[in-house]
Amino acid sequence: MLEGPHRYLRAYLAGVAFPTAFLVVILSVFAVLASTGRVSWSAAALLIFPMAVVPNLWGLWNVAYVALSKRRAADIGLFGALLPSVIAPLGYLTAKALGHPLPYGWETLTAAFALAVLVYYLVWKHVVRYLNESLELEMTP
Amino acid sequence: MNAKDDELGQLLRSAIRPVPDVELSQDLWPRMLTRMHRTGRLWSSWDWAAVAAGGTVAAAFPEAFSLLFYAL
């Protein structure tokens, strides 16, 4: 792992990049669903979570990864795959607190969690790792 | 070496900005290794298995796919 100035700041920025860029997709999907009446416009309050919470958690998770991998080699894909364990319960509780509980059964929620783990694994392994390397952060193979 | 050479040398030295530090601040070999590794990186069989598993879950539970947008 390369040392250098503002190492953790670079790690944070590399972490927030993907979910921040992906926001436009989320907002577009929501706008289409709401304008076609499939989702209530009042559910826009739920967007607080992917807009404010998720990117920050990605940034902090990457800071944790960079700090951890300084001491020992860690697989970034597997490290990223752990993040849904934090995000999923937070998202569930946030939706409930905002008065829009997720209208899905446990089967669907469990499937969504499994899907998130797989997607996070791939995104962290291939996208976040690339961003880390571009910012000269990650050196472990 | 005559006086003109000395004068020319001094003139050259005054015209060219001195290099402050020519020592390497860090070992460049790890960076080289990363670059070599990056060019040879491909998707592993585990990655394709994750894609296949994700596709299966998304096909079986389409609503799970929409929930993913909430957590990404």
Cβ atoms within 10 Å of B56's Cβ, excluding its own: 14
> Could you give the number of structural domains in chain A?
1
Q: Do A119 and B68 touch (CB under 8 A)?
A: yes
Q: pLDDT at residue A139 above 60?
A: no
Please check whether residue A60 touches B, CB under 8 A. Answer: no
Q: Which chain B residue has the Cα nearest residue A46?
A: B70
Per DSSP, the three-state class of B57 is helix
Q: For residue range A81-120, list pLDDT tens digits in order.
A: 999 999 999 988 988 888 888 778 888 899 999 999 999 9
Dig out the tokens for A111 from the structure: 């499937």
pLDDT the model gives residue A81 = 94
**Residue located via tokens 């967007």:** A47
- The predicted pLDDT at position A20 comes to 93
**Containing domain of residue A68, as a range?**
7-134
Q: How far apart are CA A19 and CA B34, in angstroms?
A: 25
Taking only the tens place, the pLDDT of each residue in A8-22 is 999 999 999 999 998
Q: pLDDT digits over A44-83, tens only?
A: 888 888 888 999 999 999 999 998 887 777 889 999 999 9
Over range B44-56, report the average pLDDT.
90
